[in-house]
Structure 1
Amino acid sequence: MEKKCFFCKKSYHLDRSDPQYMKISKNPKASYVCKSCNQSMQKDAQTSTGLHPDMIDSHDKFLT
C-alpha cells in the first residue's frame, strides 16, 4: 500500500511490518507519519518539555 507522510509529503510503501499498517488498512483516510518525521517530532517534544518517555512511571502513563 502506498501512503504519503502527513508532514514531509514523501510517498512510502507500507507493508505488514510497518507499525501503522493496521491503522491505515482499517481506515484508509487516516494520516501516516513516516519514521523520520515521527522521530523528529519526538525529539522536539523532549527538548521543549525536558521530559523523556523513560522518566514517566509506567503506571502514570495510563492514568494521565
Structure 2
Amino acid sequence: MLKTICFFCKKNYTIDRSDTQYQRILKNPKARYVCKSCNQSMQREAQTTTGLNPDHIDKYDKYLR
C-alpha cells in the first residue's frame, strides 16, 4: 500500500497493486499520481475539445483494452 496525493485535485489516496500507477510510483516516489476521477475528467475534456474519440482512431485498439 502506498499513500499518495492526486496531482490535480490534491486529495490523499492509498493505492495498492491493483492500481495501474502503483509500480510507476513505487519505482519513482516523486512521480505524479492522477486519480481515476481526474483522469476520466481530463479524457472527456480532451475528447470534447478535439472532437476525437479513441474508438474512432484505431478500431482494433478497443479489443486490446
TM-score, normalized by length of structure 2? 0.86
Distance (whole Å) between structure 2 residues aligned to residue 13 and residue 52 of structure 1: 31
Aligned to 1:6: 7
**1:21 positional shift:** 0.2
Uncovered stretches (5+) of structure 1, i.e. residues with no partner: 60-64
Deviation at 1:58?
5.9
TM-score w.r.t. length of structure 1: 0.87
Aligned partner of 1:62 in structure 2 is none
1:57 shift after superposition: 2.1
* Distance in structure 2 (CA, Å) of the matches to 1:58 and 1:16: 30
* Structure 1 stretches of at least 4 aligned residues deviating more than 2 Å after TM superposition: none
5+ residue gaps, structure 2, are 61-65
| Percentage of matched positions with identical amino acids | 68
CA RMSD of aligned residues (A): 1.3
